[in-house]
Amino acid sequence: MISLYDILESSNGQLFGEPAAHLFTSFCFDPRHAGESQLFVALKTERGDTHQFMREAVDHGVTGILCTHPPDFDTEELSVILVRDTEAALMNWTRYMLHKVGTQVVCVAGTAGKSLAVESISRVLSSQYSVLRSTDNDLPGRLALPATLASLTPEHQFVVLELNVTRPGMMSEIVQVVQPDVVVLPSLGSSISDGFANIEEVVAENRLLLDRLSPTSLAVLNADDESSRALMGATRARALTFGVESFGADVIAYNVLNSVDKTGFDLRYGAERHVGRWIPWLGKHQIGAALAGLCVGLHYDISLDDGLRTLIDLPYMPGRMNPLNGLQNSLIIDDTHSGTPQSMLAALDWLLTIKAQQVTDVPQRIVFVMGDMDHLGGQVGQAHRTIGQHAAEVVDVLVTEGTEAALAGRAALDSGIHPRQVTMTYSIQDAVQAIRERYALSEHDIVLVTGGKTARMELIVSALLKDERDQIQLTRQDALSETAVLAQPSQLNWVSLDLDALATNVRGMKILIGDSVTLMAVVKADAYGHGAVAVARTALLNGAEYLAVSSVTEALELREAGLDAPILVLNYTPLSAIRQAIRQRLTITIYDLDMARTFDRAARELGERLSVHVKIDTGMGRLGVMPKDAMNLFRHILNLKSLDVEGVFTHFASADEDAEYTAFQLKTFKDLLKPLRASGFTFRYTHAANSAATLISKESHFNMVRVGLAMYGLVPSPTIPLPSEFKPVLSWKTVVAQVKTLPPNHPVGYGRTYYTQAEERIAILPVGFADGFRRAPNTWREVLVHGQRAAVVGRVSMEKTAINVTAIPGVSVGDEVILLGHQGSEHITAEAIAKQLGTSNYEVVTSILPRIPRH
């Protein structure tokens, strides 16, 4: 329990009003997970301010608030503690409680294996002592310390703390609060988070913890880990080392035997030998964490026999090589808690040993499902490619989910795995669909699912479970995740893509047109600014069969990403690009006899045939052969044997607004098709309908439609709504960079085009016309902050914009701002912005510069 008076005394805090509660069960950092009798801690960091959520936390039942300024609502039934800095207050309370209770402190640090080591150490010590262990709640930085100690009582003889250090300097802050009696470094690894420049910085950070140990303390180090070995002489404390088949360590596991439900080994410590022991954790890489627990037990007079007996009862850890019963009695290995290059390579090594033990006459597949890994900094590309290369040597099926994970898929293909064995997806539901339908699981399959925390790969595990009651075993069930304001990307502004919405839109469009009509997904202009590769893959996985781009260059990007679906180049193709188009099996638009002859000659010289679609100009006035010249063009094309005339098409000029003219164009197109067919011409594909025509004119569908706008959840026109289940895919977001109060009649921005009418609170956003946020002749009129509309004021600068937040209380630096999308119940749509700017919704989304990160 947390005492109000311990908080006040340790933090030099002050009560605001009369206290209502004197004891609290735990700290709450996220109002979405708030509960009764909790103390809500309002944090103000460089990435956001959660004081704005105090009201929400109270509505969810908290009985106390720790904050820097009083709430602006009634606090009669609350205990409100005011401090200068809430995080500093928590650290002071942590130091105070550890000193007050006087418990022994075991700190587990490093880069990998920490949670497993915490579990092992806690289990071994609990055989003889009262132990409090770290709560597995994924809290950022130092916040996990007070979260754990909220349950500390005088009866606890040990507290085992997991230290998650994400940047240089953080360990220095921690050791000012925590005086360890034992330091355990399960692994320092070779992969580093993007908070560190190199492994040397990681080692130096952990050395600070060892420096705090006294001669009577204990350091437990991994002899298998090169970086850990380098620290063996860096402490004055007693040092015990552990290793797996690494002779020279103090505690050694050897003769390791892997199986699908446990891991066996023999153990040696000095003259002691323990043969045929096992733990219910999977993989050689998990043994080290168990050995760390034995080392700590030895220091506190717990024999290896007693410790090993305790380890037999270790539970499977959620999201850490946890075996679960999957669909069709397949075996799901859930390794989704926090996938890193180190853990993924170890998991693949485990799969390789299991594969080697297979009975040859029983069909069994190894399925590896991976999502993006987090916080790899400059190593992100190489790290994912390395996993893909290794996977190609081990697995029978590889399914990737996410942009970075697709690099692994591509690397696997480059390493020789058959394309049918690889599916690259960009949404959870597409990954699940691929596993369940394309690779239909059987009882002999082993499916290992892994990925970084933000990939949320546990959602895939959930969808593959045979018994949904097993969902309680998944990671992040009760986790206190960061609030949205503290979990934003580090960029100044960014685009969020909902590829699940895209998948839903594509499936909805396919249902609308029916199985007899081919869906061509238009992904030109980088998929209307959405990201061509991710959009194309998602569309193809959900019913699209053909892709359309503007240029050969755009098509090559898709080919280089491993997409082998047919691609139509809608625009002009220069002769210099035609050989590449032929080699990459692209379909080219033609509309001119000289062009057709030139392309035929190029194909003939390469000994190939070039697929083409002939475009008819039925009234658009752009590319295309005029109807009166079309028959002559087709007669001559008959003699061009290296051209495969796969299709014929036209383009509507105003299907979104002028039904009469669209009908005229459609009739013109049909009137041309009749004599062509009568002359013996046949076409695999005939197409005319864009999104608008697809939605309102079944007559224009023929046997193919070209869908762009609707696929992205963009409305073709005010008179042609989308089906209700269609949703916008793209949102554009930024953050508040500064908030200031300006006096009346104060100018804002270049040219002093805006003056404050009264005292006004102005927020500055780090986004401008260099990002695609238009300056002139018209600009965005408003954005969303805290779910409310805030007017844009003054001139938009190259990289800054001002908004008026006078009527929106609690706006702070780091708060999320919606430029395009929804927040709360409010929406800013591309259609509304287009109306303000005097343009179209597709110009709005394609004007967001490609350099803006897409997530």
Handedness of CA 770, 772, 773, 778 (dihedral sign): positive
Given a contact cutoff of 8 angstroms between Cβ atoms, the answer to whether 748 and 760 are in contact is: no
Q: List, as one string, the DSSP characters of 735-764.
A: E--EEEEE-TT-EESGGG-EE-SSSEEEEE
Q: What does the pLDDT read at residue 33?
A: 83
**DSSP assignment, residue 723?**
P
Measured between alpha carbons, how far is 284 from 245 in angstroms, rounded to an integer? 10
- Give the CA-trace dihedral at 201, 205, 206, 212, to 10 degrees: 150
Q: What is the pLDDT of residue 476?
A: 78
Question: Rounded distance, CA 273 to CA 294, Å?
Answer: 14
Does 481 have pLDDT greater than 50?
A: no
pLDDT in tens, 184-203: 999 887 666 667 878 888 88
Q: Quick check: is 628 catalytic? A: no
Residue with the two structure tokens 């709504």: 721
Is 90 exceeded by the pLDDT of residue 136?
no
Whole-number pLDDT of residue 229: 82
What would the mean pLDDT of 297-318 be, rounded to a whole number? 96
- Mean local confidence (pLDDT), 737-764: 96
114, 284, 524, 615: the catalytic one is 524
Q: What are phi and psi of 94, to 5 degrees?
A: -60, -50
Q: Which amino acid belongs to residue 341?
A: P
Write the single-letter amino acid at 690.
Answer: N
Give 613-665 pLDDT, tens digit per residue.
999 999 999 999 999 999 999 999 999 999 999 999 999 999 999 999 999 99
Q: Give tens-digit pLDDT for 88-127.
A: 999 999 999 999 999 999 999 998 889 999 999 999 999 9
What pLDDT, on a 0 to 100 scale, did the predictor assign at position 145? 94
E-strand ranges in 794-836 read: 801-804, 816-823, 826-828
pLDDT at position 483, please? 38
Q: Look at residue 32 and tell me whether its pLDDT is greater than 90.
A: no
Mean pLDDT for the stretch of residues 507-511: 97
What count of other Cβ atoms lies within 10 Å of the Cβ of residue 563? 18
Q: What is the pLDDT of residue 194?
A: 66
The pair of three-digit structure tokens given for residue 731, joined into one six-digit string = 């949102």
Over the stretch 541-586, which tens digit does the pLDDT of each residue have? 999 999 999 999 999 999 988 899 999 999 999 999 999 999 999 9
Residue indicated by tokens 């993007």: 194
Our separate counts of H helices and E strands in the chain read 26, 43
As a whole number, the mean pLDDT across the chain is 93
How does pLDDT run across 688-734, given as a tens digit for each residue?
999 999 999 999 999 999 999 999 999 999 999 999 999 999 999 99
Q: What is the pLDDT of residues 439-465, one digit of tens each?
A: 999 999 999 999 999 899 999 999 999
**Which SS3 state, helix, strand or coil, does residue 12 take?**
coil
Closest CA to 600 of 615, 585, 611, 614: 611
Task: Show Cβ contacts of residue 20 under 8 Å, excluding neighbours closer than 6 positions.
Answer: 63, 64, 76, 77, 78, 79
Question: Per-residue confidence at 53, pLDDT binned at 50, 70, 90?
Answer: confident
CB atoms within 10 A of CB 851: 8
Q: Identify the CA nearest to 339 among candidates 457, 227, 424, 222.
A: 457
DSSP characters over 553-611: HHHHHHHHTT--S-EEE-S---HHHHHHHHHTT-EEEE--HHHHHHHHHHHHHHT--EE
Task: Note whether 113 and 337 are within 8 A (CB).
Answer: no
Please report which confidence band the pLDDT of residue 31 belongs to, taking 50, 70 and 90 as the band edges: confident
- Structure confidence at residue 47 as a pLDDT band (50, 70, 90): low
Q: How far apart are CA 161 and CA 166, in angstroms?
A: 16
Strands 366-371 and 397-401 turn out to be parallel
Domains of the chain: 2-86 (3.40.1390.10), 102-311 (3.40.1190.10), 325-475 (3.90.190.20), 498-712 (3.20.20.10), 731-846 (2.40.37.10)
- Match 């002592």 to its residue by tokens: 129
pLDDT tens for 400-414 read 999 899 999 999 999
Residue with tokens 């992100």: 380
Query: What's the pLDDT at 304?
Result: 97
β 747-748/754-755 pair status: antiparallel
What pLDDT is attached to residue 137?
A: 61
Q: CA-CA distance, 425 to 512, in Å (whole number)?
A: 24
Of the pLDDT bands very low, low, confident and very high (cuts 50, 70, 90), residue 297 is very high
Any residues with CB less than 8 A from the CB of 434 and at least 6 apart, and which? 399, 423, 425, 541
Bigger pLDDT: 230 or 625?
625
Beta strands 251-258 and 131-133, pairing class: unpaired
Contacts of 603 (CB under 8 A, 6+ apart): 578, 582, 609, 610, 642, 643
Question: Which segments of 163-279 are extended strands (E)?
Answer: 182-185, 218-222, 238-244, 251-258, 263-269, 272-279
Which residue matches tokens 């944090």? 43
* Average pLDDT value for residue range 752-764: 96
Residue 484 has pLDDT above 90, yes or no: no
- The pLDDT of residue 486 is above 50: no
- Cα dihedral 652, 654, 659, 661, rounded to 10, equals -70
- Say if residues 140 and 486 touch (Cβ distance below 8 Å): yes
Nearest-angstrom CA–CA distance, 550 and 552: 7
pLDDT of res. 804:
98
Q: Is 661 a catalytic residue?
A: no
Residue 801 — φ and ψ, nearest 5°?
-140, 145
- Give yes or no for residue 52 having a pLDDT over 90: no
The burial of 396, by beta-carbon neighbours within 10 Å (0-12 exposed, 13-18 middle, 19 or more buried), is given as middle
Integer Cα distance of 531 and 537 in angstroms: 10
Q: Closest by alpha carbon to 814, among 45, 43, 48, 44?
A: 48
Over residues 738-747, the pLDDT tens digits come to 999 999 999 9
